[in-house]
Amino acid sequence: MERNAADAARVLWTCRQSGTVITALPEAIRPRDAIAGHAIQAALPAVADRPVVGWKIAATSAAGQAHIQVDGPLAGRILDDFVHPIGATLSLAGNRMRVVEPEFAFRMGAALPPRSTPYAADEVSAAVASLHPAFELPDSRFANFTRAGMAQLIADDACCGRFSFGPAAPEAWRTANLAAHPVHATVHGADGSVRYTREGEGSALLGDPLFALTWLANELSSLGTGLRDGDWASCGTCMVPLEILPGDRVVADYGSFGRIEISLSD
């Protein structure tokens, strides 16, 4: 099983590096369930020879779950070279999803290791060092990711793409209503004009960004992994993903939590 997991991770990593896609993993190494998918994902850091710096959650909304035909959220690893500075220009070469997701992300200040009892939201919140506005530019190594199935999507690192984390929000976030916190996004075209705007809020993340983080802590605990001090945890898009084109510039305004932007190229 371990050899099959590494072989499958290698296929998916090759796709990621080359910007190519596959219909499905080869039959002999295709995961049949979530456990097998997680084993493949767990092999990714060694195959890529890159350290894990955090985690992401995919499909935190009912609409997102329906879109990729899964019945719940998915956790994925963020490797160090998936992270780019805020304000950077990211190439869309090889990216087929062509969306940007404004997210709520946390930086852990204490570990939440695996244990037999679930973590409560107040325990998880106490372990957080800071809250950050963030972007993910997700992608999949499957030609039709909406039909790949949960096991293969987990193996594919939960459609993990590239991330930009903004500066830490003021400490007042701890007493704010994160579920109701609004986010306003603007997509500017290559000529600088506004192509469209979109609104979102924290409730899109399993009802509240801290609920999403608590789900992640307990999911990783059940997998025997856990969150570490210093890990990033990007907890899912707070709005319908933003469709983007090469040359676009995306701005997400989180009000008192900060404003971030990113540009896209060919």
Q: Which residues of 216-233 are buried (b: 16+ CB within 10 A; e: fewer)?
A: bbbbbbebebbbbeebbb
What are the helix (H) ranges across the chain?
A: 2-18, 34-48, 62-67, 121-126, 150-155, 209-222
State residue 12's pLDDT score: 98
Least Cα distance to 13 among 53, 55, 43, 54 occurs for 43
* Residues in Cβ contact with 151 at an 8 Å cutoff, skipping those fewer than 6 apart: 30, 31, 32, 33, 34, 36, 37
State residue 185's pLDDT score: 98
State residue 48's pLDDT score: 97
CA distance 198 to 221: 35
Spans of all domains in the chain = 52-265
Element (H, E) at 161: none
Q: How far is CA 210 from the centre of its chain?
A: 15
The CATH code of domain 52-265 reads 3.90.850.10
Q: How many C-beta neighbours within 10 Å does residue 81 have?
A: 11
Report the DSSP beta bridge partners of residue 105: 132, 234
For tokens 């500017």, the residue is: 188
pLDDT averaged over consecutive 10-residue blocks of the chain (266 residues)?
88 96 96 96 97 96 86 96 95 94 98 98 98 97 94 97 98 98 98 98 97 98 97 97 97 98 97
Which stretches of the chain are assigned E, i.e. beta strand?
Answer: 52-58, 74-79, 89-91, 99-108, 128-137, 162-165, 182-188, 194-201, 232-237, 242-243, 249-253, 259-265
Strand duo 232-237 + 52-58: pairing: parallel
State residue 61's pLDDT score: 82
Q: What is the pTM of this model?
A: 0.96
Least Cα distance to 29 among 60, 62, 7 occurs for 7
State residue 1's pLDDT score: 52
Contact between 73 and 56 under an 8 Å Cβ cutoff? The reply is: no
Strand duo 89-91 + 259-265: pairing: parallel
State residue 66's pLDDT score: 86
